[in-house]
Amino acid sequence: MAKKSLEKRNLILERAEQVFSKKGFSAVTMKDIIDACNISRGGIYLYFNSTDEIFMEVIKSHHQTCMQKTKHNIDDVKDFQTVVNAYFENLKQEMINVKGSLKLAMIEFFIAHKAETDNNFFVRAMDGLKAPIVEILSLRKKLQKISYDNLSEAADLVFYWQIGLEEIMLSTNVPIESLYLQIDLMKKLIFTGRLEGVVEK
C-alpha cells in the first residue's frame, strides 16, 4: 500500500477508535466514522466495507500497539520488576478510565457476533490481549528468575483476572482503593512466582 493510502487508512482507524470509545460498538454507524474522519463516503469505502470490518482492524491495531509498548519496555529496561511495574501502572490508568475506552465496545461486539465464523476473530482478540502478559512472564525465565512450568496457565490466570476486573469497573463504581489493592495483590503473585501454585493441578 502506498504511503499516502496507508496514512489515510491509519487516520480512519485512529478516528474510528475515538468514536467506538465514546459511543460503544452498537450505536456507531459508518456515517459517524465518515464524519469523524472528514472524508467522503466513497473515500472510506476504498478501505473498509462496514463498521464490523473497521472495528476488527481497530482492535488488531490496538493490541499491536500494546504489544509493541510491552516489548519496548522489555528490550529497553530488561529489569523484570521495572517492566511489571510499568505494565500494571498502565493497566491502572486504563482501569480508571475504562468507561471512556474501547472495552465496552469490545463487549458489545462479542455479544453481537456469536456465529461460528466470528470465533476465529474472538480467539485472535483474546490472544492479542494475553500476549503482553505472556511476554512479561517469559522475561522471568530469560533473566533466570523463578519461571513457570506452565506459562500458558499462569498467563491465563492474569488475563482472566484482568478481564473480570475491567468488566466490574465498567458496570459498577468500585472504590479506587479496591482497584489499587487488587493490582498490588496480582503484582505480588507475579513477583513471588505464586501464580504457579494458584493454577497447579
Mean pLDDT, residues 97-120: 85
Domains of the chain: residue spans and CATH: 55-199 (1.10.357)
Mean pLDDT, residues 146-172: 87
* 57 to 110, 117, 184: CA distances (angstroms): 14, 16, 33
* 119 to 61, 65, 125, 163: CA distances (angstroms): 19, 23, 10, 18
pLDDT at position 80: 87
| pTM, full prediction | 0.80
